[in-house]
Structure 1
């Protein structure tokens, strides 16, 4: 079991997400004493009998809602068994782009619903986005379970509706868990609660500690080497007159001296001579490690190129189909000219056609739409000015994703996934 789990939260406004995140930080003793004291004083001033744990994280959320900051907040906490990096995303529908950002690297997402409201439109939208992003594990936290008259029946009905949805979206039953919780009172957060005798599963933290989080679920280890070159190092010093190194972070696979590699998109082959780091040379470097590769031959390589293993090197793409979540205020139409950022390469791109638009509420697809509006999900055909070296997103989340950028203002307009990711969803059946 990995000792680090990357997770994210998602949910609609006022489902209690801030309180849940605050409770996780509080129950794992991941906040300082003076922070707790400040929250306690503020809670007393508000006339509350117990600390309002949402105050631990509400500051940034308030800024988001005022339009000052619209971003993803990262929280760090740990238990004796595992460390966690949590991406706390805003709940408003217009911030779906932030949910995409926060969940793009998550191994598990906690999706909140209010027990009094059940599965709503935003729940279905978030679930569809998470499915398309290939999030391996999902927890439905049915929050505020203490505020309904018949919690056992409510929990059963919400779980059944959600299971039907996730089944259509491609998750197996082993990858989805529903937990009745009260973030305010701590029921089923750190320990199992006696207030929910109808629930016999683990608490939220128990599940987070035990859920498998293999990097293989993202394709990081199942592929050979994928090394996007971020920077070419040529110090030109007296000590290193001929030094030429290629710095970056390994996006998939592993590398060792002597490995045969190919530089893409040029297709030139060479071998790895040495792996440098600030702490010295390495005998092997795994996915996620930032290193500098020294190659045996003097090869013309620049930022944006990818060094890959010869055995399974992907073909550079000049045109391809992709699933995109459109995040721009103005609609996307065929013929749009944008910038496409894939790994460390940015190139001009044109959207040749819109193939279909996905309705995440009814799980149906409309062919040949005239446009994609804000938060729409669709399949498009793209042509790029310079070829990109990408894997299918279903094979590797890191090398199969890209951004669409406004060439004038530099704003991110779309999050793209190479390949027909929509085929993993039971499109057309409806729910």
Structure 2
């Protein structure tokens, strides 16, 4: 008995104490994505002249079955069935042993090869049922995406194939090599998928940084404009009684000939207009003027340009309009894409954990990012009127437009399902009748 060969990198090794021709042989199949034409021709010739079990098809079926056996047996939530369950499913009691006895290259008569291939088809169908919702294709694609792409894997497979045919011991083969052989068409797709996942992950980090910077810019502008407005209002409240008093005293002074109001005006002017003791009200007015000047300078620093003298109010109004556009129109789009990106990464991580990744998930992820941008731009139209606080739909919960956009981007499917329900209610669209089944 030759040395046993194991599957590398698994929770459990599969089928020990058997011949190298039985186990290492099937794992030494050439990955179709990298094998050369002469090597494929040699492998196809080894399958026999009848063509009952072509090398490519036979090897793919065998490797997919081995992947599924390893996936089901190595998963704590699943287990291989007992003999009674296997018989009830139409398999023999010793179906695992029969699969392990299938050798590579296929040997025996044409009838024996046909029986082996029929057994592989039945076993694959049964194992796919046990692995549901995963399948052989999703298990292989998840392995190809999750594991590093090893260019030496295929070359080692070719070398081991020659060694095994000459009767020498071969190396153990990883799940990745089985996946490459079972689904050669998924190798390039997995490489592209891995690259797209890398772009989405790092792009989401960059997008998060830009979103935080934009949020900081808007919050800082709102804070400084709010401080300036508060300082101006405080100054106006302090100056109003003094101006009113001066105006009233001047009117009465003209009638009586007194000049008491002149002293009050001079006392409230900034020094060095007077050296007399300053009233407390004038000191408060001076402090309010200093605050207004400082806050106006802060607004100029935020705008990166000091407003021209006499045009401060116009500059602040323009800055306020700019903040409204950024906060109400641009920032929600940023948060919508951010929420959609977080949802995509979470979805892909969950599917990878369950071995459910498929090439179509790449297209779906990009579509969800685009829909997140659309929802982020439009969610405010459906949730609150212009200038609203977003509480009319959410009850007592008040959220900003950016928060609503993030939530909508994260649950973009639920948002569009809600919109479809609204359309059906507004336009009185009746659901389509159920299809009539023929008797």
Shorter-chain-normalised TM-score: which range? under 0.3
TM-score (norm 1): 0.23
Q: Which structure has greater strand proportion?
A: 1
1 or 2 for the larger relative contact order (CA 8 Å, sep ≥6)? 2
